[in-house]
Structure 1
Amino acid sequence: MKANVIIIGSGIAALQLAKKLRHDLNVIILTKSQVTTSNSYLAQGGISVALAARDDPYKHYQDTLEAGRYHNNEKAVREMTKEAPSLIKELISEGVPFDRDESGEIKLGLEGAHSENRIIHSGGDATGKNVIDFLLSQTHHIKIAENMTVYDLLIEDQRCVGVKVKDSNGKPLSIFADHVVIATGGVGQIYSFTSNADTVTGDGIALAYRAGAELADMEFIQFHPTLLLADGKGAGLVSEAVRGEGARLRTDDGTYIMEEVHPYKDLAPRHVVSQTIYQTIKNGKSVYLDISSIKNFETRFPTVASICRENGINIDTGKIPVVPGCHFLMGGIKTDVNGQTTIPGLYAIGEVACTGIHGANRLASNSLLEGLYFGKRLADFINDTPTEAQYRYMTLNHPRKKRSQYNLPEIVDIKKSMMERTGISRHQESLEKQLSYLESYQIEEWLGADLDDLPLEDTQKVFMLISSWLVTKAALQRTESRGGHLRRDFPQENQEWEKAQIILQLKGDRVEPIKIKITT
C-alpha cells in the first residue's frame, strides 16, 4: 500500500495538517484507537491568543518564555504568538463556536502565568472536543484507519519511506509514503497519575528513537496541578480555567497553600503549583480546590462537574480533592520550524515534537495553539514539495533481531515506579534506581528488536519501557532544577543550563548505548 502522506495520530496537530494539505494528495491517518481518542479531544482548557485591546503577541511571547524558564526557542515562540490571532480568526470565520459574552464578543479567560486575559474557550470546558469535531468535519476526503498500531518505521538510504502497522487482530502491514508524520502525543501513561488519554503511551517517541532520530528535552515533564482525586487515583482533569475563575487551593484546615509562594498565587506557573501541592501532600495534608466563590459552577464547567458526579464527589460542598499528575511532555522528537526531524521524510508535530516552543514548562493553553500552528506550517511545506513515489524495494538500515524469549514488567509497575522515582520531585539516588530497574528488562536489546511477532500488549510495554528510560536518562543528566524538572539535590536553576539541550540519539549501523550531547 502507498500514500503521499501518512499521519500517525488524530489529535489537533494531525487534523489541522490533514485539513490544510492539498486535496490531490493521497493522505492516510493511522490511529491506534478511535479517531476521537486523543489528548486534544479531552482538552478542557482553551487556546491562548492575544485578541484583547490591551494585549499583544509580544506579551504572549514574554509570558511563554517566563513559563518556559527561558529555555525556549525564542524565534519559534515569537512567530507562533504573532500568527496566533490570524489562526484563530480563521477558525472563527469557518464557524467554530467559541464562547461569547452578552455583547457578542469572544470571551477571554485567564489562566496560570498569563499576564492578560487571552484564553478562548468553546462550550465552556469542551474546547478540545469542539475544535476536533470541527476539524473532522473538514477532512471527509482523508482516509482514516482506526485501531491500527504503528510499531516500526521503514528506513531506506537513511530516509523514512513508510511504516509497519498492525490491526486490532495483530495482522501486520507495510505502508509506504513520501512523507511520514508522527503526531502521537506525549508519554502521559508512563505515570500512574495522568490526565492523558489511555492511548498516550510514548509510541511516537519510541518509534523515532529506534529509527535513529534525535530527541531533545525529554526530562521536562509538566505535571498538571489539579487532577480530580477519587479512590486514590487521578480520575480526570480539573481545568486550570477553574482557578482562572477564582478557585483557590487549600488544605482541610483552611490554609490557602499558594498565598506566600508566588506573586500569581493560585495562577502561578504549573510547575510551581504542582510542586507546592506535591510537597503539601507529602507532608500528610490533603489538598482541595475551593470552588465556593464560583457561581453556576455546573453551567460554567460542565465537563468537570460531570467527572465529579461520576466519581461520587459532591461539588455542593464547595471543594474538590485534587492531586498533581503527568500532563504534558515539553521535549520530544527534535524538529525544525516546519516539523522536519533529523531523518529525511520523517516529521513530528504536536506534543510528540520538541519544537522549542514550550522550553522547560508549557504556558497554559499553548498546546492547542501549537498544534494548529505547526499543522499549518508542515502542510505548507509538504504542499510545496514535489512528491517522489519512487520507493519500490524497502529494507531497514538497522536489521532487526528476533527475540524468542523475553521478560517484560507489568504496565502498572512501570507507571508506579516512574511516578515515585522520575516524577514531580527527583533525586540522583531515585533516578539511578529507576534506571537500573528499567535496564533490567534489556532496554538496549529492545532498541534493535524485531517486533513483527510481538503481541500488541507487549509492544506497548516495550514502547513504555523505552520512553520511561529516555525520560529518566535525561532527568539524571540535567543537574539543575528548571521548569517541570525538579531535582532535590540540585534545587536551583543554573545559568549554564538555560539554553543547553540534552540530545538523545542512536547512531551508527548497529544499536549502540545511548548517546548524550549538550548543545547551546
Structure 2
Amino acid sequence: MRLTSRHTVLVVGGGGAACRAALEAAEAGVQVVMVLKGVLGESGATAYKVAEMAGFNVADGQVDPLDSPEEHYKDIINAGQGMADPVLARIVAEEAPQVLKTLQEWGVPFEKDRDGYLEFLSCFSTRPRTHVIKGHGEPIIKALVARIRKYSNIQVYENCLVTNLFVHDGECIGAGIIDPAGDYRAIPAGAVILATGGAGQLFARNLNPPDICGDGYTLGYEAGAELVNMEFMQAGFGIVHPVVNILNAWIWSAHPPLTNALGEHFLGKYLPGGVAVTEVMDAHARHFPFSSSDLSRYLEVAVQAEIVEGRGTGEGGVFLDLTGLTDSYLDTLPPGDDFRKMWPITRDYLQGKGVDVLEKPVQIACFGHAVNGGLKINERCQTTVAGLYAAGEVAGGPHGADRLGGNMMVTCQVFGARAGRFAAQEAMNKNYISISESLFKKSRDEIFNGIGRRVDIKALKIKLQSEAQQKLLVRRNEAGLKEFIGVIHNLRGEIQKAPSAGPRKGLWELMSLLRAGELMAMAALLRQESRGSHFRQDFPGRDDAKFIYPITIVRNGDRPVAKITNVKY
C-alpha cells in the first residue's frame, strides 16, 4: 500500500487512448502508472481484431481536393444531430492530420493506393477521407507499446482491477486496485486518466473483447462525474457464423439476398408502402452503424425482429448470401468504385480465417459496438470532477447521435494525447498527494463487501446480456426499457442477498455492466424521440422542439438522476 506520491499521473486502461495518454504524460516528465486488467499490448478494444481493417479519418484532401478539416468538422456536427460538442469536434478534425503523421513516424502502416493513401467514403461522411490500417487497431497498439517500453518513468501494473477512485474535498486523488494476489492497494496520483473503453460486453452479441465492461463509466459515476449522451449506443451488423466479424457497410451496395431460417426473403414485409428493398440496402451502404435517421433502419429492425421472434438460425442469425460477389461481378463496377477496392481486402481476410464467402452464405445478426457518449469532458479532457480526466470511448462529447466511421480511432489518439499532456500539467502543479488510512479502509471494506458474494456470475451475466440484446440494442420502447431497468434492480438484489465470499473480479465487472446498462437505459427512457443511433418504436420521429438538448446523468446519493440539459451544443 502506497499512500503518498508526488507528480504522478495514473492511467486506467491499456488500449489506444490509454497508451497515448501514458506516452504524452511521460514525455512531460511526470511519473506515470498504468493499471490494466490484462496484459499491455493485448488489453482494450484497439488491439482486438474484430475486423480486417481500421478506419482512420484525416481530411488531407488527397482523394477529394475540396476536403479539409473544416469539412471534417461539419460532417461530425451533422452526424451528431445537435449532440456533439462543437469545440471537441473541431479539435478532432484539426488535430487528426498531425496524429496520422506521428503514428506513421512511429511505424504504423497506412495502406497506399498508387502514390497516395488508400482512402474511402466512410459512415455519415460527405467526402472520402477514411484512411485504412490493415489488422484493425493492432498496428497502432504495437507502435505505442514499443515506445512505452522505452520510458523508464512509465510503470505498468498488469492483471489488476481498479475498483474505485479516491475523492477528497471534491478532487480525485488516486484509485484503489485489487492486485493479482487479491490484495487491495491504493495508488495516489496528482491526476487520474480513465481510458477504459466502452461497455460492449453488456450485449449478448458484441464486437468487443471480454474486458470491455463499462469500467470507466462506473468509476466516474461513483466518483460524482457527469455523463452525457449515454443513450447513443452504436449497433451494427456482424457475421455470427462461421466466424465473428464486422460486416462492412459497403457490402449492402451489392444488394445481397437476405433470408431467414425458413428461406424467406423477409425484409420487404417490414417496409412502408412504396419503399423498395434495394433503397434500404443502398441507404445502409453509406454507413455501418444502425441509424434511425434514414431508410437503412429497417434492415436492423427486420433482422432483430426475425431473430427475437424465432425465425433465426440455430446460431442466432439470418442468412446473407455473398456468393455472387465474384471477380466477374467486380469487373462490372467502375474502376474507382469503393466496393471494387475494398471487397478483395475483406474477401481475402475472411478466406484467411477459413471462410469462403463465395461458396455458401454467412449468417449475420445485430451487434453492440461502441457507445457514443460517456464521461463529459472539456477541451483539456477534464471531467466534472477535479483531477479526473477521460479519453477514448469512455469520454462523451466528441461524438453525438451518430458518429463518423473512422472517427473513434483518431479520437482516441487526439484526446489520449491531450489527456496525458494536461493531466501531467496538473500533477506537476501539486505537492504530495496523500490518501488517509481511514479513507483507504472505508473503501476497502465497501469494495470487499460489494463484490465478495457467492453467486453464479456467468448465469447472471447471460441474463443481463440477453435482456440488453432484446430491449436496449436496436428496438427500444417504454415498456421494454422499464423492464430492463427492473431486471437490473432484481439482479443487484440477488447479488446483495447472496452469502459472503472472497472478492471476485468477475463480480465487479458484472456490477459495472449493471451500472452501465442502467445509465444507458435511463437516458434512452428520457429521450422520447428517435435520433441517430437511438430508436424508440413508440416515438419513431425526431423531435427538435423538446429534445434538441443533450441528456446528462449524475449520481445523487445512491441513485442516478438523468435530466435534459438547457445547454444546446
How many positions carry a matched residue from both structures?
501
Match of 1:109 among 108, 113, 120: 120
Equivalent residue letter for 1:475: A
Q: 1:219 to 1:439 in 2, by over 3 A?
A: same
Q: What is aligned with 2:487?
A: 437
Secondary structure, in 3 states, of the residue corresponding to 2:108?
A: coil
Tell me the equivalent position of 2:57. 48
Asked if the contact 1:237–1:304 (Cα under 8 Å) also holds between the matched residues in 2, the reply is no
Q: In the alignment, which residue of structure 1 is the partner of 2:272?
A: none
Tell whether 2:557 aligns with 1:517. no
Question: Match of 2:196?
Answer: 184
Deviation at 1:387, TM superposition (A): 3.8
Asked whether 1:463 is paired with 2:512, we answer yes
Q: Show the counterpart of 1:220.
A: 232
**Cα shift readout 1:464-498 (whole Å, capped 9, x = no counterpart):** 11111111111111111111111000001110355
Match of 2:392 in 1: 350
On the 8 A contact 2:200/2:213 being kept in 1, the answer is yes
Equivalent runs, 1:75-114 vs 2, <5 Å: 75-103=87-115, 105-114=116-125
Match of 2:333 in 1: none
What residue identity is the alignment partner of 1:317? E
What's the CA shift for 1:89? Answer: 2.2
Could you report, residue by residue, the CA deviation over 1:258-299 in whole angstroms, capped at 9, with x for unpaired residues?
A: 622387441146223873332232245835263444679896
From the superposition, tell whether residues 359 and 49 of structure 1 become closer, same or farther in structure 2 (CA, over 3 Å).
same
Shift of 1:374: 0.6
SS in 2 for 1:267: coil
User: Deviations for 1:388-421, whole angstroms, at most 9, x for unmatched residues?
Assistant: 2422343549977545768676111110011111
Instruction: Read off the aligned partner of 1:154 and give its amino acid letter.
Output: F
- The alignment-based identity, stated in percent, is 24
Check the 8 A contact 2:232/2:371 in 1, yes or no.
yes
Q: TM-score, normalised by structure 2?
A: 0.80
Query: Could you say which residue in structure 2 is the equivalent of 1:489?
Result: 538
Question: Partner residue of 1:279?
Answer: 301
2:375 to 304, 327, 333: 333
1:78 alignment partner AA: R
> Which SS does the other structure have where 1:79 is aligned?
helix
Give the Å deviation of 1:161.
Answer: 0.8
Relative distance call for 1:379 and 1:458 in structure 2 (3 A) is closer
Q: Is the 8 A contact 2:284 2:296 kept in 1?
A: no
Q: Which residue identity does 1:276 align to in structure 2? A: Y
Cα RMSD for the two superposed structures: 3.0
Cα deviation digits, residues 56-106 of structure 1 (max 9, x gap)? 122222222232223211222123212212221232344322111233x11
Distance 2:543 2:494 in 1: 32
Secondary structure, counterpart of 1:301 in structure 2: helix
Is the CA contact (8 Å cut-off) linking 2:188 and 2:435 kept in structure 1? no
CA drift of 1:445 comes to 10
- Can you give the 5+ residue segments of structure 1 that lack an aligned partner in the other structure? none
Q: Deviations over 1:350-395 (max 9, x none)?
A: 00111x2210121101001111111122233234333424223435
Alpha-carbon distance change, 274 to 68 in structure 1, aligned in 2, over 3 angstroms: same
The aligned counterpart of 2:279 is 260
Deviations along 1:19-65, one digit per CA (max 9) or x if unpaired, are 22244311011110122222111363210111122311222222222
Q: Is the 8 A contact 1:47 1:121 kept in 2?
A: yes
Q: Which amino acid aligns with 1:122?
A: I
2: CA distance between counterparts of 1:452 and 1:97? 48
Please state if 1:454 is matched with 2:473.
no
What is the CA–CA distance in structure 2 between the aligned matches of 1:262 and 1:497, rounded to whole Å?
A: 31
**The residue matched to 1:372 in structure 2 has which SS?**
helix
Q: Give the 3 Å change call, closer, same or farther, for CA 97–348 of structure 1 in structure 2.
A: same
Structure 1 CA distance, aligned partners of 2:488 and 2:55? 36
Paired residue for 2:528? 479
2:188 is aligned with what amino acid?
A: F
Counterpart in 2 of 1:131?
140
The question of 1:31 aligning with 2:36 is answered: yes
What are the ranges of 5 or more consecutive residues in structure 2 without an aligned counterpart? 269-275, 313-317, 331-338
* Displacement after TM superposition at 1:302 (Å): 7.4
- Code of the residue aligned with 1:134 in structure 2: it is A
* Distance in 2 (alpha carbons) for counterparts of 1:337 and 1:289: 46
Counterpart of 2:477 (choices 395, 413, 427) is 427
Distance 2:352 2:12 in 1: 29
TM-score by length of 1: 0.88
Preserved contact between residue 5 and residue 178 of structure 1 (Cα < 8 Å)? yes
**Alpha carbons 1:223, 1:274 under 8 Å: kept:** no
